[in-house]
A and B are shown apart, each in its own frame.
Chain A
């Protein structure tokens, strides 16, 4: 069984500043992927970034980057130069070798002008 824990129910950040969302996971799989999805008020989940467990290099997508610490089973998301459009619920997720995607409870990001 896989579990994902997001310990921050809500994070607030000012525009143009940086915020980091934490995520820890547990898995017995050797082959897995980690994901961050964003859920804006429209409720539709959108993929933000993904990381293959075998890759040591941290994934980056424009203003979004991850800090993947495999030994610690930690997968945090950093949002740089925050924008008002980044306000959303962010979910950390993990897939197993069968492709089943499990998520954490989410972190609400509030962006203030």
Chain B
């Protein structure tokens, strides 16, 4: 087990669908992140949660809705997505939000919007 597990690994959805991405960490961390990875673009930090409270929302469209019910789980709820939202979505966790914090990543969910 990698420590940070993301499900599903692959997801194809229509623009009118509603789906959710799940992230679970088994490392005892209290901070979790969502990143979007598109080809030839910097990884985009989407959301940051610390102690289950959202501390960062980088102007992400409202069709992406995060949820952090506890320190071990993080969800990204998706609805009415656009084709340009197709990307690899990476979840990460860390032991607190500190300048020297190391982030541990999951293997990502490859999302295709059709």
Contacts and interface: CB of A to CB of B under 8 A. Distances in A.
Given A9-B40, A43-B88, A43-B107, A97 B45 contact: no
B99 A97 contact: yes
Given A4-B42, A104-B42, A42 B99 contact: no
A98 B97 contact: yes
A64 interface: no
Contacts of B27: none
Contacts of B35: 103
A17 to B, nearest CB: 26
Contacts of A102: 42-43, 45
B78 interface: no
Summarize B's interface: helix, strand, loop or mixed: loop
Interface string A7-40: 0010000000000000000000001110101000
Contacts of A96: 99
B106 A52 contact: no
A110 interface: no
B74 interface: no
A95 B99 contact: yes
Contact of A50 (B31, B55, B56, B102): B102
B42 A33 contact: no
Interface of A: 4, 9, 31-33, 35, 37, 42-47, 50, 52, 91, 95-106
Those 7 A-B pairs whose CB atoms lie nearest each other, nearest first: A99-B97, A45-B105, A103-B43, A99-B101, A44-B107, A43-B108, A105-B42
23 contacts: A31-B99, A32-B99, A33-B99, A42-B107, A43-B88, A45-B90, A45-B103, A45-B105, A47-B103, A50-B100, A50-B102, A95-B99, A95-B101, A98-B99, A99-B96, A101-B45, A102-B42, A102-B43, A102-B45, A103-B35, A104-B42, A105-B40, A105-B42
Interface of B: 2, 31, 33, 35, 40-43, 45, 48, 55-56, 88, 90, 92, 94, 96-103, 105-108
